[in-house]
Amino acid sequence: MTDTLAIALSKGKLLEPALALFKRVGLAPKDVSPDSRRLIFEHPASGTTLMIIRPSDVPTYVEYGAVDAGIVGADVLMEQATDVYEPLDLKFGSCRLAVAAPESAVRRNGRHGTRLRVATKYPNLTERYFTQQGIPIEIIKLYGSVELAPLVGLADRIVDLVSSGKTLRAHNLVMTDVIMESTARLIVNRASLKLKHKRVQGLIEALRAGLQGGRA
């Protein structure tokens, strides 16, 4: 049906609370699980199709109309700066994009006179932050295990997501600054917003009601 809404959900830590919210408002099958190997779940009763994809791909899927809407962290959204409509802060998945350094470097109070090497999965946000601070850097783009970079001499600092701080402490790293706070956001394709306005508005209202403990 042309009026079906295709919605991309981010794999990882946002998936479980997102599925719980969609089930609560009747937009997902009751038997869908974060542990399932399936990547597409149809829910004919509500006219929705859920797709489980990598967080970094969600904004692209939404911007180019492969799906009508998506759930993604504000950190990914800000890093990619895609052209999408962002109507709702879903409030879950709270974390901080932070700068961290080895404890030894912090104790030396060493703001380097030379160019800092910074390891991160967020090169654009990192570049913008350090430029605003007037600190010259060389960015080391990594795709995982960013906290290892200072331990092996690959980087002087890291920029990464921090939730509890346990991972930083386990690697003798100290958070020195917070670049941004991040939570899960609902994003919508701009064409879908016009062509499926009633369905999209219904989705927004349903999720908003679900966040407030009700069901639209």
For the chain, give the percent of residues with pLDDT over 70.
94
Burial class (CB in 10 A: 0-12, 13-18, 19+), 14: buried
pLDDT, averaged across the chain: 91
The tens digit of pLDDT for each residue in 81-90 reads 999 999 999 9
Classify residue 115 by its DSSP letter.
P
The tens digit of pLDDT for each residue in 46-59 reads 999 999 999 999 99
Query: From CA 28, how far away is CA 30, in angstroms rounded?
Result: 6
Q: In the predicted model, is pLDDT for residue 187 greater than 70? A: yes
Domain boundaries, the chain: 5-93+183-211, 95-180
Can you give the pLDDT at residue 61? 98
Superfamily holding 5-93+183-211: Periplasmic binding protein-like II (3.40.190.10)
Residue count of the chain, please give it: 216
Query: From CA 43, how far away is CA 63, in angstroms rounded?
Result: 23
| Fold agreement between 5-93+183-211 and 95-180 | yes
Mean of pLDDT values over 12-17:
94
Q: pLDDT class for 113, splitting at 50, 70, 90?
A: low
Query: From CA 122, how far away is CA 126, in angstroms rounded?
Result: 6
Mean of pLDDT values over 11-27:
95
Can you give the pLDDT at residue 214? 55
Structural contact between residues 176 and 143, judged by C-beta atoms closer than 8 angstroms: no
Can you give the pLDDT at residue 33? 80
Query: From CA 15, how far away is CA 26, in angstroms rounded?
Result: 16
Can you give the pLDDT at residue 16? 95
pLDDT greater at residue 161 or residue 30: 161
Q: In the predicted model, is pLDDT for residue 163 greater than 90? A: no
Q: In the predicted model, is pLDDT for residue 1 greater than 70? A: no
* Out of 11-20, 106-115, 171-180, least confident range: 106-115
pLDDT greater at residue 61 or residue 33: 61
Domain 95-180 in CATH 3.40.50.970? The answer is no
